[in-house]
């Protein structure tokens, strides 16, 4: 085989260029810290790096969503705390008004403060999250959730509740709709509610009512009727389910329910015992303020006022418990957000470590490789010089 001088030079030059390209590539890796810049360098590694890049970007999106959700849930928790504070003050006013020592003027002042607290509670229900979105409008944006007209509050949102993805396998509920928070609070003790009929003419006042045997009661609506000043019976529709005698302060027990009364109910006076209905908290405060503004001159009026205060006190207590329940679920979601943040942090660290192994330069390995490549190119250069110095004339 014959090798021309031109071919020999071309082969030597090509070898030098390859070595120079390898050196330039290694130097670039050392300068930039990135070893995987083209898919041609490592097709499988580049594909895996792109998948990891997408997973990391998803984690960043989850983190942004979690931050917005955390802001809304913290705002909801603060709103519920403020609402509970307002109801606590209302409760104090009811206790004061129910001791029988307040004048009608004092009661009117209490009613005025309760109306102010009710307006403040409506403001709480209409709060936004600081980004222009209402907290308690459900899935409706751009609306004021609650409007008050002539003492009647209307909910303008919906019952929807968004779910926000905060990690690959976790989605948490957004702020609760206002209908569930403010419009469907329990009354009574949360299980049963007793109320006096407005047409009662005696001085009987309900003090407490509770369920002692849920199976015997079974959620029925019962009517406690006084057939004589000292005699009573309980009706389930038209069926008598119990009867007995009464003296001031007695606790009556029948059909799995016990209720205590004071005063002297008149013949024909009735009291309703029913499963605690749900009622919006604004109506509870409006009814209470109206009752406080009603004069209490006669014994009958005082009894009616006493019944109104007892009912209002139990309804407000139940509303506070409802707020606390919603607040507890809000706190649970905030705790889940913290857990999701920890999970995202661990996953991101693992993914970035894997991505670094695929993409980042190993400086120790690259430095050693550059040293070998420099040695190789120096050897190639010396070989090329020796070839260039060779000639047939040296043999003559």
CB atoms closer than 10 angstroms to residue 137: 25
CB atoms closer than 10 angstroms to residue 326: 20
* Domain span holding position 208: 192-275
Tell whether 61 and 157 lie within a shared domain. Answer: yes
Tell whether 102 and 128 lie within a shared domain. Answer: yes
Residue 99 has a pLDDT of 77
30 domain residue, yes or no: no
Which parts of the chain register pLDDT below 70? 1-50, 52-53, 55, 352-367, 369-370, 373-374, 376-396
Helix 104-125 with 281-292: angle, nearest 10 deg: 160
Tell whether 146 and 159 lie within a shared domain. Answer: yes
330 domain residue, yes or no: yes
Report d(CA 262, CA 145) in Å as an integer. 42
Which of 226, 254, 275 corresponds to the end of one domain? 275
Tell whether 159 and 205 lie within a shared domain. Answer: no
Tell whether 250 and 350 lie within a shared domain. Answer: no
326 domain residue, yes or no: yes
Residue 91 has a pLDDT of 93
93 domain residue, yes or no: yes
Report d(CA 65, CA 172) in Å as an integer. 11
Buried b (16+ CB within 10 A) or exposed e, 161-193: eeebbbbeebebebbbbbbbbbbbbbbbbbebb
99 domain residue, yes or no: yes
Tell whether 241 and 139 lie within a shared domain. Answer: no
Residue 361 has a pLDDT of 60
Looking at the structure of the chain, the number of domains it has is 2
Report d(CA 127, CA 389) in Å as an integer. 90
Tell whether 221 and 246 lie within a shared domain. Answer: yes
Residue 131 has a pLDDT of 86
Tell whether 61 and 170 lie within a shared domain. Answer: yes
Helix (H) or strand (E) holding 205: strand 205-211
Give the pLDDT confidence of 145-195 residue by residue, as tens digits.
Answer: 999 998 899 999 999 999 998 888 888 999 999 999 999 998 988 899 999
| 293, 108 contact by CB (below 8 A) | yes
Tell whether 155 and 300 lie within a shared domain. Answer: yes
Residue 296 has a pLDDT of 85
- The three-state secondary structure class of 267 is coil
Helix (H) or strand (E) holding 18: helix 5-32
How far, CA to CA in Å, does 206 sit from each of 181, 235, 252, 256, 391? 28, 18, 11, 17, 126
Residue 360 has a pLDDT of 58
Tell whether 262 and 301 lie within a shared domain. Answer: no
5 domain residue, yes or no: no
Pairing of strands 278-279, 239-245: unpaired
The pTM of the full predicted model, rounded to 2 decimals, is: 0.77
Residue 159 has a pLDDT of 92
CATH number at residue 285: 1.20.1330.10
Residue 218 has a pLDDT of 93
Tell whether 150 and 271 lie within a shared domain. Answer: no
Which of 242, 275, 308 corresponds to the end of one domain? 275
Report d(CA 61, CA 165) in Å as an integer. 9
Residue 381 has a pLDDT of 65
Which of 230, 254, 275 corresponds to the end of one domain? 275
Tell whether 176 and 225 lie within a shared domain. Answer: no
CB atoms closer than 10 angstroms to residue 123: 12
24 domain residue, yes or no: no
329 domain residue, yes or no: yes
């Amino acid at each position: 085989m014959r090798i021309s001088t031109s071919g020999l030079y071309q082969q030597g030059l090509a070898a030098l260029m390859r070595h120079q390209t390898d050196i330039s590539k290694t130097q670039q890796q050392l300068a930039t810290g990135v070893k995987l810049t083209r898919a041609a360098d490592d097709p499988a590694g580049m594909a895996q790096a792109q998948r990891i890049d997408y997973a990391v970007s998803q984690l960043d999106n989850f983190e942004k969503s979690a931050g917005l959700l955390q802001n809304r849930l913290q705002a909801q928790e603060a709103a519920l705390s403020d609402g509970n504070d307002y109801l606590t003050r209302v409760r104090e006013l009811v206790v004061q008004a129910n001791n029988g020592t307040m004048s009608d003027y004092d009661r009117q002042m209490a009613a005025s403060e309760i109306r102010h607290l009710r307006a403040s509670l409506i403001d709480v229900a209409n709060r936004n999250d600081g980004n222009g979105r209402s907290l308690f409008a459900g899935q409706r944006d751009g609306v004021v959730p609650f409007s008050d007209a002539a003492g009647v509050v209307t909910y303008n949102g919906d019952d929807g509740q968004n779910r926000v993805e905060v990690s690959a396998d976790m989605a948490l509920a957004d702020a609760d709709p206002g209908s569930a928070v403010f419009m469907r609070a329990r009354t009574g003790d949360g299980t049963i509610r007793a109320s006096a009929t407005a047409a009662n003419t005696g001085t009987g006042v309900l003090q407490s009512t509770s369920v002692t045997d849920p199976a015997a009661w079974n959620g029925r609506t019962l009517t406690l009727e006084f057939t004589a000043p000292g005699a009573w019976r309980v009706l389930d529709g038209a069926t008598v389910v119990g009867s007995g005698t009464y003296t001031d302060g007695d606790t009556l027990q029948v059909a799995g329910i016990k209720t205590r009364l004071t005063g002297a109910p008149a013949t024909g006076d009735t009291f309703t015992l029913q499963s605690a209905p749900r009622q919006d908290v604004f109506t509870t405060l409006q009814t209470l303020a109206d009752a406080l503004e009603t004069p209490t001159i006669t014994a009958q009026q005082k009894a009616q006022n006493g019944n109104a205060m007892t009912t209002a006190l139990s309804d407000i207590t139940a509303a506070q418990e409802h707020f606390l329940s919603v607040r507890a679920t809000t706190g649970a979601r905030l705790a889940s957000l913290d857990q999701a943040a920890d999970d995202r942090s661990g996953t991101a660290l693992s993914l970035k470590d894997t991505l670094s192994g695929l993409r980042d330069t190993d400086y120790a390995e690259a430095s050693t490789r550059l040293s070998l490549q420099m040695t190789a190119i120096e050897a190639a250069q010396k070989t090329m010089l020796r070839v260039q110095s060779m000639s047939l004339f040296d043999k003559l």
